[in-house]
Amino acid sequence: MLNPNQHLNPRLFDLNVEQVPIRKGFGEGLLAAAERDGRIVGLCADLTESTQMHLFRNKFPNRFVQIGVAEQNLATVASGLAAMGKIPFLSSYAMFSPGRNWEQIRTTICYNDQDVKIVGSHAGVSVGPDGGTHQAIEDIAIMRVIPRMTVVVPCDALEAKKATLAIAARRGATYLRLAREKTPVITTEESPFELGKANVLVDPDKPNIAIFACGQSVYNALVAGKKLAKEGIHAAVINLHTIKPLDTKTILHFAKKTSRILTVEEHQKHGGMGSTIAEFLAENYPIPMAILGVDDQFGQSGTPEQLVEYYGLGVNSVVERAKKLVGKF
């Protein structure tokens, strides 16, 4: 049963549920934030429409800088603008930023404690036909290890808009991870969002297992939870939209309540959201858990649906892994 306190989309499980690209929410959020704060500036690496920064550029052309295909410059120019009191948002495909400019992000932005927001679009295998060169599935790992970096992975377009407004209002380097394809709208305007606080979307009285997911994987986790309930397995489903700082309170609560945790993400199994949770639990409350993610492989071309299934991130894969985990103990 959906948690009523989350005010989720009432048509969430309809076959014709509304679907909107998560990146669109960023574009709308950036525009709204810029209207509130004149210090916000935008920089892009020749992908303005693709990353949805064109909404900001069209309204505020004098506050927009087109860097071109030069992602290392993108990061260093943004850092300089931050040092002069601006709040820069830089956007590109996640494979190129932070993929190509990681050292500049680490040293020029984070080491110098500059207030820069890094927006990586087209992350995960559901990018689809662009193939492995454009499917960032290592980005959470390389960004969460940088000191002073916040990492946010919204589950839908509405949450992406809220996340953009939240990081604009909060000082500090932040990585915002976005998906390319249309994804189901899970939340509503009334749904709560707070950086660093997970949202418990399904909260049974006596859950057998807790499923943590982020980004575009949250919807499959919800559908899997509904299927599991029909088989008598009651799963709590948690949207862990902030990977860093980690909501250890919620994780510990469900670890103690269920003794079994499953994580799902469009990212490498190693170093991503699941690894973050495992690292915390290993030192604080070790329990059986499983991580669903890409298993030490690169992406490849295909439709988003084909790739999600191929890498074992589809609804049935979540259901089967949850059943195995519950059946062990």
- Backbone phi and psi for residue 72, each to the nearest 5 degrees, phi listed first: -70, -40
Beta bridge partners of residue 244, listed in sequence order: 151
Q: How far is CA 270 from the centre of its chain?
A: 16
Q: Give the active site residues.
A: 71
Q: How many whole angstroms separate alpha carbon 326 and alpha carbon 320?
A: 10
DSSP labels, 214-245: -TTHHHHHHHHHHHHHHTT--EEEEE--EEES
Q: How many whole angstroms separate alpha carbon 34 and alpha carbon 58?
A: 12
Helix (H, G, I), strand (E, B) or coil at 157: helix
- Backbone phi and psi for residue 40, each to the nearest 5 degrees, phi listed first: -75, 130
Q: Are 185 and 158 in contact (CB under 8 A)?
A: yes
What does the DSSP 8-state code read for residue 33?
H
**Residue whose pair of structure tokens reads 């305007």 in the numeric block:** 189
How many residues would you count in the chain?
Answer: 329
What does the DSSP 8-state code read for residue 286?
-
Give the CA-trace dihedral at 262, 264, 267, 272, to 10 degrees. Answer: -40
Q: How far is CA 281 from the centre of its chain?
A: 21
Q: How many whole angstroms separate alpha carbon 119 and alpha carbon 90?
A: 6
Tokens of 172: 């500090």
The amino acid sitting at 144 is R
Q: How far is CA 47 from the centre of its chain?
A: 20
C-alpha distances (whole Å) from 267 to each of 20, 135, 256, 270 are: 21, 9, 26, 8
